[in-house]
């Protein structure tokens, strides 16, 4: 395929010492995954630049490389060539992973400790897989920060000084709300380490979280008329538009989370019983909700547009190569695109989640009970539901007392 894409300059790419041997097969692999020829040629044009990035990391051959080593070579600049080189790097990584040609990372004390921590979170504490992954990722960042795998300092790597330094480093990169979550995860990890005999007990008491007040943040709900405007602004004549309309309509109608929409499968929809069984990653128990006529119409319109040549059981698929199941980030990207197209001003910390907030407030104003709203949103306690139901400024105007008239005061003012 290289001779077809570059009839006169193909030797420039096949002669590359590191990447030249795989580029021909990489082109065929990309084409089998649905990439158009122009996208493939752009990636191949960036091969000399990516080769330079590999050499800067002292990588002389792809054999013997790990996935982590290749990721460190991806350029991060936003100029055209580095951006395409980063896309080429991801394609090379996925290609080598599919062929099983990457070397598994060596087991280290840190990796073994993290694996035990993940099992503890899943089996003992019963956390959802997404939470286990998030806790493990942050714990790994902490172990890397304190250089836990260094043989000389492993015994004393985790101490009050290291905790303070890690907290200062994290605070410089995230806000106070996220920082509170970071400290909570770190306390959990320290308690596990104490239980395993790695560190002294009560070391987690050295951590201080930023003070947060209940309901201090403003509501993120999108006004209901803006929700309707957003749905009406979506162009449903294309495959992507019909897909995005069905996804956002599911969130606006049932208050689903982004991950729940992305993970929905055809087996979760019972057309005859008119029921959708939504997987709930947090609780582990699927939620059965009625399949309304509007939702059924939107889903059927998308499924008829969807390519029948790809027998995927997931409902929502990518509209561009590489074809396959849509991830949660794809739902967020679709929301951002259509919100900008509709000209809707986004609340602070917007995203598809503000549709979930908007539904909760819309149901509350219609007189729906907190218990019903909480069951629909998948909450276990009324306190969790209350977080979504903080009223905005317009609601507070209704309870404000009118200013007293100056004539109501008697007597002279001194």
CA distance 322 to 320: 6
pLDDT tens for the chain, 414 residues long, are 888 888 888 888 888 898 988 999 999 999 888 888 888 998 999 899 989 989 988 888 888 888 888 888 888 766 767 888 888 999 999 998 888 888 887 788 888 889 999 999 999 988 888 889 999 999 988 988 888 887 655 657 788 888 888 888 888 888 777 888 888 889 999 999 888 888 888 777 777 777 766 666 666 778 888 889 999 999 999 999 999 999 999 999 998 888 889 989 999 999 999 999 988 766 667 788 899 999 999 999 999 888 766 678 899 998 887 888 888 888 999 998 999 898 887 766 578 888 888 888 888 888 777 788 787 777 777 766 766 555 545 565 666 667 666 565 555 554
CA distance 118 to 106: 18
The position carrying tokens 């991950």 is 259
Residue 342's contacts (CB-CB under 8 Å, 6 or more residues apart) are 229, 230, 232, 233
Catalytic residue among 43, 257, 362, 390: 257
The position carrying tokens 């099992």 is 119
Q: Does residue 135 have an active-site annotation? A: no
Residue 11 structure tokens: 């030797």
Query: How much is the pLDDT for 302?
Result: 93
Q: Give the chain's radius of gyration (CA, Å).
A: 27
Catalytic residue among 220, 353, 362, 390: 353
Query: How much is the pLDDT for 324?
Result: 83
How many residues in total does the chain contain?
414
Residue 209's contacts (CB-CB under 8 Å, 6 or more residues apart) are 179, 180, 183, 184
CA distance 75 to 49: 9
Query: How much is the pLDDT for 216?
Result: 61
Q: Does residue 282 have an active-site annotation? A: yes
Catalytic residue among 43, 135, 388, 390: 388
Q: Does residue 371 have an active-site annotation? A: no
Angle of helix 80-99 relative to helix 23-32, nearest 10 degrees, comes to 90
Query: How much is the pLDDT for 390?
Result: 59
Query: How much is the pLDDT for 299?
Result: 93
Query: How much is the pLDDT for 414?
Result: 46
Q: Does residue 148 have an active-site annotation? A: no
Cβ atoms of 56 and 62 closer than 8 Å:
no
Catalytic residue among 135, 220, 356, 357: 356
Residue 232's contacts (CB-CB under 8 Å, 6 or more residues apart) are 342
Superfamily grouping for domain 224-393? Intergrase catalytic core (1.10.443.10)
CA distance 361 to 100: 50
* pTM score, whole prediction: 0.73
């Amino acid at each position: 395929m290289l001779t077809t894409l570059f009839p006169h300059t193909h030797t420039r790419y096949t002669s590359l010492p590191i990447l030249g041997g795989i580029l021909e097969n990489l082109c065929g692999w990309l084409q089998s995954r649905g990439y158009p020829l122009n996208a493939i040629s752009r990636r191949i044009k960036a091969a000399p630049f990516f080769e330079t990035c590999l050499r800067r990391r002292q990588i002389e051959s792809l054999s013997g490389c790990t996935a982590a080593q290749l990721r460190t070579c991806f350029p991060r600049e936003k100029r055209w060539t580095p951006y395409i080189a980063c896309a080429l790097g991801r394609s090379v990584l996925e290609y080598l992973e599919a062929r099983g040609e990457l070397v598994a990372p060596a087991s280290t004390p840190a990796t073994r400790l993290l694996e035990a921590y993940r099992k503890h979170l899943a089996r003992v504490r019963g956390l959802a897989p997404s939470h286990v992954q998030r806790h493990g990722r942050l714990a790994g960042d902490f172990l890397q920060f304190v250089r836990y795998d260094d043989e000389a300092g492993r015994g004393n790597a985790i101490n009050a000084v290291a905790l303070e330094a890690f907290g200062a480093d994290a605070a410089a990169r995230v806000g106070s709300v996220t920082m509170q979550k970071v400290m909570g995860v770190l306390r959990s990890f320290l308690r596990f380490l104490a239980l395993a005999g790695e560190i002294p007990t009560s070391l987690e008491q050295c951590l201080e979280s930023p003070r947060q007040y209940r309901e201090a943040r403003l509501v993120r709900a999108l006004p209901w008329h803006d929700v309707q405007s957003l749905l009406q602004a979506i162009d449903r004549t294309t495959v992507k538009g019909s897909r995005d309309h069905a996804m956002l309509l599911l969130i606006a109608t049932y208050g689903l989370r982004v991950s729940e929409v992305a993970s929905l499968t055809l087996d979760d929809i019972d057309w005859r019983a008119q029921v959708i069984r939504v997987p709930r990653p947090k609780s582990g128990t699927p939620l059965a909700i009625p399949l309304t006529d509007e939702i059924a119409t939107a889903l059927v319109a998308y499924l008829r547009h969807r390519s029948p040549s790809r027998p995927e059981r997931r409902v929502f698929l990518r509209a561009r190569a590489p074809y396959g199941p849509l991830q949660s980030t794809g739902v967020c990207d679709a929301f951002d695109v259509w919100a900008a197209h509709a000209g809707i001003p986004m609340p602070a910390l917007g995203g598809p989640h503000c549709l979930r907030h908007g539904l909760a407030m819309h149901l509350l104003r219609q007189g729906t009970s907190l218990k019903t709203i909480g069951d629909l949103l998948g909450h276990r306690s009324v306190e969790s539901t209350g977080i979504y139901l903080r009223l905005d400024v317009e609601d507070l105007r209704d309870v404000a007392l009118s200013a007293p008239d100056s004539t109501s005061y008697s007597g002279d003012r001194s």
